[in-house]
Chains A and B, each alone.
Chain A
Amino acid sequence: MADNHTIEPQVLPPNPEKATLEGRNKYLGFWFFLGGETVLFGSLFGTYLGLRGGTADGPGPSDLFHVDLVFIMTMLLLTSSLTSVFAIINMKRGNYKGLLLWMTATVVLGLAFLGFEIYEFYEYNHQGLGFGVSAFASAFYTLVGTHGAHVTFGVSWITVLLIRYRKSGLTLTNAPKFYTAVLYWHFIDVVWVFIFTVVYLLGIGG
């Protein structure tokens, strides 16, 4: 029952997230889950690509999208991925305070991203792109909105972890939890890179 106790940083195994069978299961299971999520987003991308021409006389991609806004959002999310990497580096060094600090930074950046996304949707709606106006509108909101829902879930998840484990120190139980949360966060980032390319760059360029 060693996993019950807080382990001092100096006796922590080098990869605390994979030191127990539970941790290894969680790690592998989460990778599989991300595989499924890939198909999920792949289906949404396919739908969007199939429907992005169907604007039905409503506003289209080139009327709406602006590179500057999306660039800021991209930078926020990419930076948040970087901060989560710093968090894991700190975890492996046994610096629990650093882990919490960098994870908090990740949450803040994620919230900022969400703020921009809400502003973006509000603005598009204002310009006549209601959810059911055209097939393009529905497909756009569904794809980008599903990503936004993932960001929201990720922010909430990490926040719960940060509050729950604010004083516990690093243990063999919470190390896999932080690690999988960061995996999830990277995945959301990668999806955004594709959204940036397929939705926005393609929308503005073509």
Chain B
Amino acid sequence: MSYEKAQSKNVIWDWLTTVDHKKIGILYLAAGAFFFAVGGLEAILMRIQLMFPESSFIQAQTFNELLTMHGTTMVFLAAMPLLFGFMNYMIPLQIGARDVAFPFLNALGFWLFLFGGILLNVSWFAGGAPDAGWTAYAPLSSESPGHGLDFYVLGLQVSGIGTLIGGINFLVTVINMRAPGMSMMRMPLFTWSSFVASMLILFAFPALTIGLLLLMLERLFGATYFGVDLGGNVIIWQHLFWIFGHPEVYILILPAFGIFSEVLPTFAKKRLFGYSAMVFATLIIGFLGFMVWAHHMFTVGIGPVANAIFAVATMAIAVPTGIKIFNWLLTLWGGRIQFTTANLFALGFIPTFVMGGVTGVMLAASAADYQFHDTYFVVAHFHYVIIGGTVFGLFAGVFYWWPKIFGYRLNETLGKVFFWLFLTGFHLTFFVQHFLGLMGMQRRVASYLPGQGLDQLNFISTIGAFLMGVAFIILLVTIFTSMKNTTNVSDPWDGRTLEWTTTTPVPEYNFAQTPLVRELDAFWYEKYEGDGKMKAAEPIGDIHMPNGSILPLIIAFGLFVASFGLIYAVYPLAIVGLIISFIGMFLRSVKEDHGYHIPAEAVKRDKDGGK
């Protein structure tokens, strides 16, 4: 493809075939936001059912489906893709790269995730969603009638492959694509934490792949791994699931930690306190994250020695996390703090996350866990860390990076209303759930009896959920009413890192000249020690760009079709789907595609045009 041809593509075709990391990032953000809204609605439906004792708003079966899909959607289809959106958009900009290492695979990862997510949600219209909880414990999952669990198995398998591909892509991008001078220990913390999270994806997701494969073979092909009568063992699923599942929660939280580590120094006007301690704390959390999976299984009966070991390992994670908390506090110490919406979320995160961490250590005490296990105490704990950590991080990221990504600044007044409503609603919903759990209310129950002291707190919790719903609507209003704030969008916050050195909208090649990095917080350094502009590491020249391709979409679509063939045992359809995918891969392998070049004159024209 020539440069001229690449310039004159139809808009929709352009988005379907894009391999530009920025566009793929926006696609991730859009799809993630959609699933976030779906998962949120599911949560609100559940809270309405639990507003009053013995309520009959929702059938018990539907309630099971709602709680399963809420968890699955929020973890796999909302939180991770939203983080992937920021990682895609920001990592290359933060390390001074023109693109990711594997633009084609990057697109493939997105389409696999999207088709997997759609597949999972098609189950609502195909006779019932999965109903065994997001953890899908065997034999509940392996024996569950209907096709719901089949959709779970294949939907997660397809989107999981996409995630794995994305993880490998980020790892190689960070290692191979950094600009001159951008050593590992000069990388912004968001890039660092995304790097470690990608490492976790790489080593955690294959365990889920195998778990899902076993469940699929057992449900659809007559294998037996979990059937005790034929020598099977149900605990195998739990091990495989949590060997994946525990690193997964660190995959969710580490990039959010990274966002806070960008936002806090920017709005405290100080460099991050203890940068290298932060990096090593991130690495240690990533490492320990693989050592603690059995703390989800304390009550299974793996024995006192195993319980003790996993309890101690779990508590050890509090140490690097504590290092991070203190470093954030000391970053703020003596800083000139600006209370922007992004910073409010970062500031709100610190106490909220500490509370979630404290209940985490309580749960890690394995003897006490026999009381907490499967109660609302656990529900309260993980919502404190996942909403208080990941979701707050995402919202901070939204307000912080929105001008760079979409070219306009979000209204700060509405943003603050959103923040306070969301913060209040969140604590109202989940703080009381600690006590509900301690009073003995089981998680995942569709109803409860009156007169057991649970009525009032459940009612309060539901009101809080409504508040969060209202807050989300205000966020949408903010997004759609702020579009006129198009001034001062290239570097609105007096930023410190390389993404703020690009012009907004960011040209498809990101940097006309690859920047030369001279210090940590490279842009800040040039502002105060240099002339406020990045030094160039190369003269202006032709820029090599990859060609767009429709093949990623086709490959993912093939697996989508094949999944239906497997779910409904229509094997010809499964084979057709797989053939579509393999033809896509075959074409990709056989056709050498060397991309095209943007001529130096065009780059110069963009640069001088003041774009």
Contacts and interface: CB of A to CB of B under 8 A. Distances in A.
Given A25-B102, A43-B210, A132 B594 contact: no
A4 B594 contact: yes
Most chain A Cβ neighbours within 10 Å, of B171, B218, B223: B223
A191 B217 CA distance: 22
Interface in A13-44: 21, 24-25, 28-29, 32-33, 35-37, 39-40, 43-44
B210 A40 contact: yes
Contacts of A55: 231
Interface residues of A, number: 42
A201 interface: no
B206 interface: yes
Given A43-B240, A132-B224, A50 B206 contact: no
A142 B176 contact: no
B233 interface: yes
A119 B210 CA distance: 25
A146 B217 CA distance: 12
Most chain B Cβ neighbours within 10 Å, of A36, A40, A134: A36
A56 B221 contact: no
Interface in B222-253: 222-225, 227, 229-233, 236, 239-240, 243
Contacts of A32: 168, 171-172, 202
Contact of A39 (B101, B206, B217): B206
Given A29-B171, A36-B202, A50-B233, 4 more contacts: A25-B102, A46-B240, A135-B231, A138-B223
A164 B176 contact: no
Nearest to B165: A33
Main secondary structure of the interface of A (DSSP, over half): helix
A111 interface: no
B223 A54 contact: no
B341 interface: no
Given A43-B210, A135-B231, A142 B224 contact: no
Contact of B236 (A24, A51, A133): A51
Contact of B224 (A135, A160, A173): A135
Given A39-B206, A56-B230, A135-B233, A164 B168 contact: no
Contact of A29 (B168, B227, B597): B168
B74 interface: no
Given A36-B202, A36-B203, A28 B176 contact: yes
20 contacts: A1-B594, A1-B597, A3-B594, A21-B176, A25-B177, A28-B176, A29-B101, A32-B171, A32-B202, A39-B206, A40-B209, A47-B214, A47-B225, A51-B231, A54-B232, A56-B231, A138-B223, A160-B590, A164-B590, A177-B589
Nearest to A131: B223
Given A28-B176, A55-B231, A47 B169 contact: no
A139 interface: yes
A135 B171 CA distance: 37
Contacts of A33: 168
Contacts of B528: none
Contact of A50 (B175, B222, B230, B236): B236
A3 B589 CA distance: 16
A109 B217 CA distance: 30
Contacts of B1: none
Contacts of B164: 36
B354 interface: no
A204 to B, nearest CB: 20
B4 interface: no
Contacts of B205: 36
Given A39-B207, A47-B210, A160-B590, A138 B224 contact: yes
Contacts of B231: 51, 53-56, 134-136
Given A25-B102, A29-B168, A51 B225 contact: yes
Most chain A Cβ neighbours within 10 Å, of B210, B221, B233: B210
Given A56-B231, A160-B586, A131 B222 contact: yes
Contacts of A35: 202-203
A33 to B, nearest CB: 6
Most chain B Cβ neighbours within 10 Å, of A32, A136, A161: A32
Interface in B155-211: 164, 168-169, 171-172, 175-177, 202-207, 209-211
B175 A139 contact: no
Most chain A Cβ neighbours within 10 Å, of B206, B218, B229: B206
